[in-house]
A = this chain, B = another copy of it.
């Protein structure tokens, strides 16, 4: 039975797995000096721009922490939404490994805007104050919402006006691109993003994310930071092979579109269930909803999923590249039964 708990509960897309098998051919040099990695980097150039500097790491937390560590010294601060993954889901790894300070602002459905950031842009040159260095946003957000290109550009402009950088946690960037029907460069490079965590695991890969610097000068010592961050894979070819499968054709987009479509179908079904209220705009592959505690408990006896906010209570359901219409419809039926309890 497929889960609605998280898009990382799914397995690996068959095409990705096939590519990994195909890469299992004899010996090759380790640590990224292999042809699979080279081809995957080429594909990142094709998607994000010829001049980007791109590096593979194992997982999304590492992509965020190492990308930020490359551009921050320890007296810097990173400004993000209270709900940002770097703030609530990484167990303080940014502070421990990077040493910098995280400053948060209350988001609207996971999104921040220049008006919320501006009050934190002070104390430049004041030695008692962590120096603002990065604005970090998540695209799509932890709440499943998307930033329009204009919204991203506005934050990038604000950052650059202050000599700062814009970082994007793109663990689900493909879902955002599918939602906006834009290519990934249009959502990143063209909007002024400086550092990107580009996710593969939640879109059908087994493991592997990329850190992308749109100005390669920012990456001048990243290889050492990656090694120190315990993210330099010896058999990196298998990461390269996965990204090649994802990005070589349309798989990245097909997977994301499908997951988004299943969330839309789920939202449509949920809206028809009395006693359940959708709480966030459904723009990608997540549906957030409120219902009674009793209904939540009943449904959790049938499905594992997370209560997002115990106080409301609010729950999160996510769809994946392999969620089927049947899965969704069965879930809605179960929800109907539980919601009435």
Q: A24-B12, A221-B75 are in contact. Are A230 and B128 (CB under 8 A)?
A: no
The 8 A CB mask of A120-157 against B (1 = contact, 0 = none) is: 00100001111100000000000000000000000000
Residues in B with CB closer than 8 Å to A127 are 31, 91, 223-224, 226-227, 232
**Most B C-beta atoms less than 10 A away, residue of A58, A201, A202, A225:** A58
> Is the CB–CB distance between B24 and A2 below 8 Å?
no
A109 to B15, CA, bound (A): 46
Residues in B with CB closer than 8 Å to A21 are 17, 21
> Is the CB–CB distance between A304 and B3 below 8 Å?
no
Q: Is A11 an interface residue (CB 8 A)?
A: yes
Q: A207-B233, A224-B127, A227-B75 are in contact. Are A101 and B95 (CB under 8 A)?
A: yes
Stretch of A59-67, A185-193, A292-300, A328-336 on the interface side: A59-67
**Most B C-beta atoms less than 10 A away, residue of A9, A95, A231:** A95
Q: A92-B228, A100-B95 are in contact. Are A238 and B207 (CB under 8 A)?
A: yes
Q: Is A341 an interface residue (CB 8 A)?
A: no
Q: Is A206 an interface residue (CB 8 A)?
A: yes
Q: A119-B311, A128-B227 are in contact. Are A101 and B102 (CB under 8 A)?
A: yes
Q: Is A275 an interface residue (CB 8 A)?
A: no
A92 to B103, CA, bound (A): 11
> Is the CB–CB distance between B235 and A206 below 8 Å?
yes
> Is the CB–CB distance between A95 and B95 below 8 Å?
yes
Q: Is A276 an interface residue (CB 8 A)?
A: no
**Chain B: CB-nearest residue to A239:** B207
Q: Is A73 an interface residue (CB 8 A)?
A: yes
Residues in B with CB closer than 8 Å to A235 are 8, 11-12, 201, 206-207
A229 to B65, CA, bound (A): 10
A141 to B60, CA, bound (A): 33
A92 to B3, CA, bound (A): 41
Residues in B with CB closer than 8 Å to A232 are 59, 61, 127
A226 to B61, CA, bound (A): 12
**Most B C-beta atoms less than 10 A away, residue of A58, A130, A223, A233:** A130
> Is the CB–CB distance between A228 and B75 below 8 Å?
yes
A323 to chain B, nearest CB (A): 9
Residues in B with CB closer than 8 Å to A202 are 234
The listed residue (B17, B61, B227) touching A93 by CB distance below 8 A is B227
Residues facing B in A284-308 (CB within 8 A) are: 304
Q: Is A161 an interface residue (CB 8 A)?
A: no
Residues in B with CB closer than 8 Å to A27 are 1-3, 9-11, 320
A31 to B11, CA, bound (A): 13
Top-6 shortest CB links A-B: A75-B224, A62-B230, A8-B234, A92-B101, A92-B130, A91-B227
A residues near B (Cβ < 8 Å) are 1-3, 5-6, 8-12, 14, 17, 20-21, 23-31, 57-62, 65-66, 73-77, 88-93, 95-97, 99-102, 104, 119, 122, 127-131, 201-202, 206-207, 221, 223-235, 238, 304, 310-311, 320
